[in-house]
């Protein structure tokens, strides 16, 4: 079973979630504010966080970004908002899944089980090589650090995951659908999601789409990473 942090300011919803998750043999801690959630993840190990967006002290989207700066714990967003653009932003900012309120406890359980399966599958996979080198790029998956020409790159979580995935297949054109599935853990999505992250990543690698060094886009096909000729 899992260790779960419920971040929800509505006492009725919070109590119901705690009761259901405890009956399902999960270990549950709960808080009602974003700052309390940050303190919890800083001091305790959780398998999954269920994060409400409508928190009294800080918007849940900002809380998600702050959580992602200190932990890689899977986060399921619980939201009454159903705007697709915002949901895409949340997934890009590091959410692992989302549920639109109102939702049943059975639906939450199913989403939790799927997220935990992915998380545990990744943890039990064969260890990645200590350092991946492509030209002057050096990527350390275990320490989640990347350098270009010996200079540390300041990458977001998603940028690092995208760069590492492509660097593990140097010279191979990776279809966008595969990038969504492997890097974003999504079976669907907008190409703009990938384009935006590629643009940010190119900027940090000191290149542009018009003058690429490492990242090459093949229109209508996919993306590849290879060292400069």
With beta carbons less than 8 A apart as the criterion, state whether 24 and 1 touch: yes
Q: Which tens digits make up the pLDDT trace of 167-201?
A: 998 999 988 888 888 888 776 666 677 888 899 99
Non-local (6+) Cβ contacts of 110 within 8 A are: none
Question: Based on the domain organization, do 138 and 161 belong to the same domain?
Answer: yes
Percent share of the chain, pLDDT over 70? 93
Give me the CATH number covering residue 93: 3.40.50.2300
> Is residue 110 domain-shared with residue 182, that is, in the same domain?
no
Listed residues 74, 102, 124: the one ending a domain: 124
Q: Is a pLDDT exceeding 80 seen at residue 143?
A: yes
Residue 93, helix vs strand vs coil: coil
The domain of 14 spans 3-124
Average pLDDT over residues 18-32: 91
Q: Are residues 171 and 109 in the same domain?
A: no
How many domains in the chain? 2
Residues 9 and 46: their CA atoms lie apart, in Å, by 19
Last residue of a domain, one of 98, 124, 150: 124
**Is the pTM value of this prediction over 0.85?**
no
Q: Which of 124, 144, 171 is at the close of a domain?
A: 124
Q: What is the mean pLDDT of residues 201-210?
A: 93
- Average pLDDT of the chain is 86
Instruction: For the chain, give the longest Cα–Cα distance.
Output: 61
On the question of pLDDT at 128 being above 60, the answer is: no
Residue 98: pLDDT band (50, 70, 90) is confident
Strands 75-79 and 97-100: parallel
Q: CATH no. for residue 212?
A: 1.10.10.10
CA dihedral sign, ordered 112, 90, 142, 35: negative
8-state DSSP, 156? -
- Beta-bridged to residue 99, according to DSSP, are 78
- Helix (H), strand (E) at residue 76: strand 75-79
Sequence-separated contacts (24+) of 193-198 with Cβ below 8 Å: 193/88, 193/91, 193/92, 194/223, 196/92, 197/92, 197/158, 197/159, 197/162, 198/162, 198/223
């Amino acid at each position: 079973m899992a260790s779960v942090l419920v971040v929800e300011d509505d006492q009725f919803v919070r109590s119901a979630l705690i009761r259901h998750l405890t009956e399902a043999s999960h270990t549950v801690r709960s808080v009602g504010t974003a700052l309390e959630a940050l303190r919890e993840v800083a001091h305790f190990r959780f398998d999954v966080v269920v994060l409400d967006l409508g928190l009294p002290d800080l918007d849940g989207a900002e809380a998600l970004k702050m959580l992602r700066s200190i932990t890689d714990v899977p986060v399921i967003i619980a939201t009454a908002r159903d705007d697709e653009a915002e949901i895409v932003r949340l997934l890009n900012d590091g959410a692992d899944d989302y549920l639109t309120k109102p939702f049943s406890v059975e639906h939450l359980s199913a989403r939790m089980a799927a997220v935990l399966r992915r998380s545990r599958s990744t943890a039990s996979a064969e260890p990645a090589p200590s350092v991946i080198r492509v030209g002057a790029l050096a990527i350390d998956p275990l320490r989640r650090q990347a350098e270009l020409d010996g200079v540390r790159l300041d990458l977001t979580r998603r940028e690092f995951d995208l760069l590492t995935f492509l660097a593990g297949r140097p010279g191979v054109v990776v279809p966008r659908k595969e990038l969504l599935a492997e890097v974003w853990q999504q079976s669907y999505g907008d190409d703009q999601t990938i384009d935006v992250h590629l643009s940010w990543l190119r900027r940090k690698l000191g290149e542009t789409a018009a003058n690429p060094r490492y990242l090459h886009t093949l229109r209508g096909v996919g993306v590849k990473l290879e060292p400069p000729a």
